[in-house]
Amino acid sequence: MTATPQFVPSDIEIAQQARLRTITAVAADLGLAPDDIDQYGRYKAKLPLALASQPPKGRLVLVTAISPTPAGEGKSTVSVGLSQAFRRLGHNAVLCMREPSLGPVFGVKGGAAGGGYAQVLPMDDINLHFTGDFHAIASAHSLLSAMLDNHLYHGNALGLDVKRITWPRTIDMNDRALRQAIIGVGAGNGVMREERWVIIPASEVMAIVALASDAEDLEQRLGNIIVGTTSGKERTPVRARDLQATGAMSLLLKDALRPNLVQTLEGGPAILHAGPFGNIAHGCNSLVATRAGLALADIVVTEAGFGSDLGAEKFFDIKCRAGGLNPEAAVLVATVRSLKMQGGLPKNMLDQEDLGALERGLPHLAHHITNVRQFGVPVVVAINRRLSDTDAELTMVADYAAKYGVRVALCDVWANGGAGGEALAHEVLALLDSKSAEFRPLYDTERPIREKIETIAAKVYGADGVDYSPAAEKSIAWLEQHGMGNTPVCMAKTQYSLSDDASKLGVPTNFRMTVQEVSGSAGAGFVVAKCGDIMTMPGLSKSPAAERMKVRPDGTIEGLS
Amino acid sequence: MTATPQFVPSDIEIAQQARLRTITAVAADLGLAPDDIDQYGRYKAKLPLALASQPPKGRLVLVTAISPTPAGEGKSTVSVGLSQAFRRLGHNAVLCMREPSLGPVFGVKGGAAGGGYAQVLPMDDINLHFTGDFHAIASAHSLLSAMLDNHLYHGNALGLDVKRITWPRTIDMNDRALRQAIIGVGAGNGVMREERWVIIPASEVMAIVALASDAEDLEQRLGNIIVGTTSGKERTPVRARDLQATGAMSLLLKDALRPNLVQTLEGGPAILHAGPFGNIAHGCNSLVATRAGLALADIVVTEAGFGSDLGAEKFFDIKCRAGGLNPEAAVLVATVRSLKMQGGLPKNMLDQEDLGALERGLPHLAHHITNVRQFGVPVVVAINRRLSDTDAELTMVADYAAKYGVRVALCDVWANGGAGGEALAHEVLALLDSKSAEFRPLYDTERPIREKIETIAAKVYGADGVDYSPAAEKSIAWLEQHGMGNTPVCMAKTQYSLSDDASKLGVPTNFRMTVQEVSGSAGAGFVVAKCGDIMTMPGLSKSPAAERMKVRPDGTIEGLS
């Protein structure tokens, strides 16, 4: 274990001081010639899509986490640091992650590409327009919106029920005022109707780009998108294909479907591609990115959104199933601080040693370990070390994990980069070498929608049962009647609790879930079951990060972090 | 004159058959090393912004046209072909043009980058996302919108009058249903108010990017944007600066401000950058693109929107004035067919020789010649040749022009590329060598707003006078009171007539103009005077071009033209 320094510069300072390798040099490490890639500036490139169809040679490692708390777990930072550590140990490893959305960058976060000495670079480009993927996805989504309203305006030959249009508009911005609107106001300006905007990670086109296996599959999925239903008793789905929008949408997405190559702070390859939400979508980087990584590298480190109850479950049941992926090991990230919060300690007391709170929080860790293991994937716990952690606390976590037959590795990649992740890398290598993985999804997609929901609720969340709103029951019947009965289920619930009640920390028991709304993402290929309100268009705070951003006279930037 | 072939393949066929040079090779022709540029794929690059601050070595040639008709004039095609011709004649010439907007691509046009054998490539990329400039501009614009509504939501400390917000939302899409809307509907979703969307070429941020001389000037202009006024009698302007949005907007635009390098079908350099509308904005490619061209090449061919009454006037009075540019020659594009339409011939009869209609149309040509000449810039008429043109018709045009002391060159660059533009290139070179240009703007910006409007109306449109709506009069007073009295005026009127009545072809006389609305684009640095309704958000047709687009299994595309 390397020593944790008392002072680490800010993320942006570290990023700006880094000496980047040219992207052609990074690509060369993966056996790619300059002509194999398309450069976007000196430090970004698009990879060829064909890589995603090549046979995998790498082994797939998932980084997941316990349920997120305000204490911070650092899953992305550990993912970056672990890939850095593998390279330090001489392995040809590649990192696969999601691309960040602009909305949160200008809202609260000010950036999202790891942190400290475990970052992905060029940080500013990645946090701004990057290679334009999200803009292309927004364009394709918006074109479908425009063609839909244009169809209504020109006579509505498909007989769409204007009150039952489900396709929203989208923008990559935190824009509260667009959550609910009336459009088509005024003479000659189309059909007046209600509309809502979702932020781009919530767009079904984002989920489609993330799950498509190639250009043909992309087009097929785009065509399947359900935009609404016909009027009257029939309520037949109306699809993007019926609006003849599929070809033009594919055209807009032809480059966005190609994975992006960048680098970690230590110059190793990182493939960043797509970024669907982890609640109403499956929360993973694209399938083509992961497959390209597996074709190019010996070890692929990837991550999934939120805790293992949301991200890992969807990674396994939706992404791995769709893409025929075979995950061979998982890393479960936790911090002592966040385990103490799960044990009931308030945020302002996390700096003090509290073995009681930690002990009460450890069953939460156990629950996530069990979650991952039931998919047949072996797991190692990564304790993302913080300065306030005491030896007694760390020992308690290690002893507890030992009871579960799970190894614990400390890491401090934030402060020490790849060197701080070597212990973890060794543990992961041991898991991979054990060849103990026997990956299997949790449920059979051919089972009824309710049964699939109830399987996830019981086995992953620990719920005693599931209740359905009348609207949800009606939707389930309609979806099963219209060919959506045999897809995976994408559960949308709070990320802060294993249950559907954000206030219940630790391991909630004796609870039932309530599914309030069910909808079909027919293009993405899953049914979304919403337990509670899910925010699909964030707002800006009273003092958003955007107010503190600027370009300095020398061209460097300020305010991203 | 080369022979005009009877059959020319479609634009996209020609583009797809073209063998492109690598963009590094194109850049090398301009004396730029691979490290001087940032590649975006193999055939596009961003130029360094610093080029725009280097001393000009090139001579500037403007391509303008008579008023547009459905007969087609081909101004862009002639611009491309002329730059190709200069290179064939051994000159180091560069083309500077606007970037196309996605909206029209999916609407009617299916593409916009010249035509036939006078195109700019890669045509599909240019017509789709290109290097992401328009997306970045949309993001910067949208961020200001979101921050504005966020300000209202969090208490409206600046005291904005919600009924007098002038900053619209934007999207790069033809989306009729967004022309007029109610946003902020529902509890917790912000302040409910009217909103309108404009397409991205109508965004003031687009005009700002097109007129900014460097990053500092960009930030200054962004800060100056007026988003609305305070309530009450004062009606003080509220600016983007007051919302603390300027820094983040600059950050979003830092790459979009850099000009893009591509190539013509014959491999010559073309700089495509920015694309403001030609009515409510000034309709020219960016100042930094033109300046970069002048720093790199011996001859810069550039164009301005619509006819000389709109595009050339604004090019001279707004862009050249703002940027200290010195145009030395102008090309006025016309076709025999369009002159016959100006002479009253209906569209379905244009294929027949009609010397009478042509003769009646020629004064329209003369008016545009005079327009350009009054700016002190010598002009050559380019007849963009069509198959139906007869020798007698061409002779009549040449004889008429001779009376005005203006040379006429035939060109058929559409069918023959640069070879079809050599005659025109020789005429332009003769003009340049004559050193007869004495460029001067039409009016003094220090004069009152009304006087500036009336000068343009009288000298460029031939109006007898100008009337103002009460709202326009009120706005003019407010603008002069708030520091906008000494900027250029940007006239927004129909492009189809020299007057403000689209149905009046030829040379309208005995008419007065009516200014209905006046507004301040304080960031762009001009006052917009609207004569009539100006469409800032187009709709899609009943059968939009988007319906016929697709990506073929081999990755090539269909439906752009």
Comparing CB atoms, the residue among B186, B189, B250 nearest residue A551 is B250
Q: Name the band, by pLDDT with cuts 50, 70 and 90, for residue B561.
A: confident
B69 a known binding residue?
A: yes
Q: Which of B43, B53, B129 to mutate against chain A (most A CBs within 10 Å)?
A: B129
Which CATH architecture is the domain B21-131+256-434 placed in? 3-Layer(aba) Sandwich (3.40)
Chain A residues with beta carbon closer than 8 angstroms to that of B106 = 143, 146, 248
Residue B555 has pLDDT above 90, yes or no: no
Using one digit for the tens of pLDDT, what is the confidence trace for A504-513? 999 999 999 9
Q: Under a CB-based contact definition with an 8 Å cutoff, are residues A304 and A62 in contact?
A: yes
What residues in B contact A185, CB-CB < 8 Å?
180-182, 194
pLDDT bucket at A42, cuts 50 / 70 / 90: very high
Q: Test A540 with B191 for CB contact under 8 angstroms.
A: no
pLDDT for position A498: 96
Q: How many CB atoms lie within 10 A of CB A385?
A: 21
Q: What is the mean pLDDT of chain B?
A: 95
Which residue is associated with the tokens 């029209």?
B104
Interface of A with B in 189-208 (CB under 8 A): 189-191, 193-195
pLDDT score of B371 more than 80: yes
Check pLDDT > 80 for residue B154. Answer: yes
The pLDDT value given to residue A112:
63
- Give the ipTM of the model, two decimals please: 0.96
Q: What is the pLDDT of residue B159?
A: 97
| Strand ranges in A84-185 using DSSP code E only, listed in sequence order | 93-97, 114-115, 118-121, 160-165, 169-171, 181-183
A72 is in an annotated binding site: yes
Give the pLDDT of residue A6: 59
The residues in B 170-189 lying below 8 A from A, measured between CB atoms, are: 171-186, 188-189
High-pLDDT (> 90) share of chain B, %: 90
CATH code, B133-252: 3.30.1510.10
The pLDDT score that the predictor gives to residue B16 is 85
Q: What pLDDT is recorded for position A1?
A: 43
Name the pLDDT band for A392 (thresholds 50, 70, 90): very high
- Asked if pLDDT for residue B111 goes beyond 60, the answer is no
Q: pLDDT over 90 for what percent of chain A?
A: 90
pLDDT digits (tens, 9 = 90+) for A537-547: 999 999 999 99
Chain A contact for B441 (CB, 8 A cutoff): no
pLDDT classification of B110: cutoffs 50, 70, 90: low
What tokens appear for B465 in the block?
A: 């006078």
Residue pLDDT, tens place only, A133-171? 999 999 999 999 999 999 999 999 999 999 999 999 999
What b/e string do you get for A540-555 counting C-beta neighbours within 10 Å, with b at 16 or more? beeebbbbebbbeeee
CA angle A519, A520, A526 (to 5 degrees): 120
What CATH number is given for B453-531 in this structure? 3.10.410.10
From A106-115, A458-467, A520-529, B63-72, the region with the lowest mean pLDDT: A106-115
- pLDDT of A205 over the 80 cut: yes
pLDDT of residue B3: 54
Q: Give me the pLDDT at residue B553, please.
A: 87
Task: Say if residue A79 carries a ligand binding annotation.
Answer: no
Q: What are the domain boundaries of chain A?
A: 21-131+256-434, 133-252, 453-531
Region A222-232: what's the mean pLDDT? 96
Model pLDDT for residues B502-542, shown as the tens digit of each residue = 999 999 999 999 999 999 999 999 999 999 999 999 999 99
Q: Given this model, what pLDDT does residue B21 score? A: 97
Contact B95, B264 (CB under 8 A): yes
Q: What is the pLDDT of residue A4?
A: 54
Q: Could you read off the pLDDT of B180-189 as tens digits, one per residue?
A: 999 999 999 9
On the question of pLDDT at A53 being above 60, the answer is yes
In 3-state terms, chain B is what percent helix, strand and coil (to 5)? 40, 20, 40
State the pLDDT at residue B314. 98
What sign has the CA pseudo-torsion B288, B292, B294, B295? positive
Question: Cβ separation of A174 and B549 shorter than 8 Å?
Answer: no
The whole-number average pLDDT for the span A115-130 is 94
Q: Is B248 in contact with A142 (Cβ distance < 8 A)?
A: no
**pLDDT digit string (tens) for B372-400?**
999 999 999 999 999 899 999 999 999 99
pTM exceeds cut of 0.90: yes
A76 is an annotated ligand-binding site residue:
yes
pLDDT at A16: 85
Q: Summarize pLDDT for A358-373 with one digit per residue, the tens.
A: 999 999 999 999 999 9
A328 belongs to an annotated ligand binding site: no
| Number of neighbours of residue B558 by Cβ within 10 angstroms | 14
Q: Is the pLDDT of residue A417 over 90?
A: yes
- Better-predicted residue by pLDDT, B61 or A18: B61
Mean pLDDT of chain A: 95
3-state secondary structure A491-548: EECCCCCCCCCCCCCCCCCCCEEEECEEEEECCCCEEEEECCCCCCCCCCCCCCHHHH
Tell me which residue has tokens 């009646």: B360
Q: Tokens 């070390």 sit at which residue?
A: A385
| Vertex A123: Cα angle to A327 and A17 (nearest 5) | 120
Residues A66-94 pLDDT 10s:
999 887 889 999 999 999 999 999 999 99
Of B226 and A106, more confident: B226
- So what's the pLDDT on residue B249? 98
Mean pLDDT of all residues in B33-59: 96
CA atoms within 13 A on the CB side of A494: 16
Angle between helices A246-253 and A215-224 (to 10 degrees): 140
Contact B132 A128 (CB under 8 A): no
Q: A21-131+256-434 and A133-252: same fold?
A: no
Whether the predicted pLDDT of B6 surpasses 80? no
B547–A143 C-beta distance less than 8 A: no
Q: Which residues in chain A have Cβ-Cβ distances shorter than 8 Å to B190?
A: 176-177, 179, 539
Q: What is the DSSP letter of A18?
A: -
HEC letters along B342-360: HCCCCHHHCCCCCHHHHHH
* pLDDT over 50 at A132, yes or no: yes
Cβ–Cβ < 8 Å for B80, B264: yes
Cβ contacts of residue A444 below 8 Å, gap of 6+? none
State the best of B165, B251, B254, B540 to mutate against chain A, taking most chain A CBs within 10 Å.
Answer: B251
Reference A69, options A501, A502, A534, A544; nearest CA is A502
The answer to whether residue B142 neighbours chain A at the CB level (below 8 Å) is yes
Q: Is B362 helix (H, G, I), strand (E, B) or coil?
A: helix
- Contacts with B135 from chain A: Cβ below 8 Å: 129, 132, 135, 138-139
- Check: CB of residue A490 under 8 Å from CB of residue A282: yes
pLDDT band at B112 (very low <50, low <70, confident <90, very high): low
A110 Cα to chain B: minimum distance (Å): 11
Which of A42, A136, A559 faces B129 most closely, judged by CB atoms?
A136
Q: Among A66-75, A205-214, B74-83, whose mean pLDDT is lowest?
A: A66-75
Asked if the model's pLDDT at residue B1 lies above 70, the reply is no
Closest Cα to residue B286, out of B206, B343, B345? B206
Comparing A443-447, B70-74, B447-451, which segment has the lowest mean pLDDT?
Answer: B70-74
What number is the average pLDDT over the span B133-145?
A: 98
B245 contact A CB<8A = yes
Query: In whole angstroms, what is the distance from residue A398 CA to residue A393 CA?
Result: 9
Gap from A138 CA to chain B (nearest CA, Å)? 10
Is A48 an interface residue toward B (CB < 8 Å)? Answer: no
List A521's β-bridge partners, or say none. Answer: A526
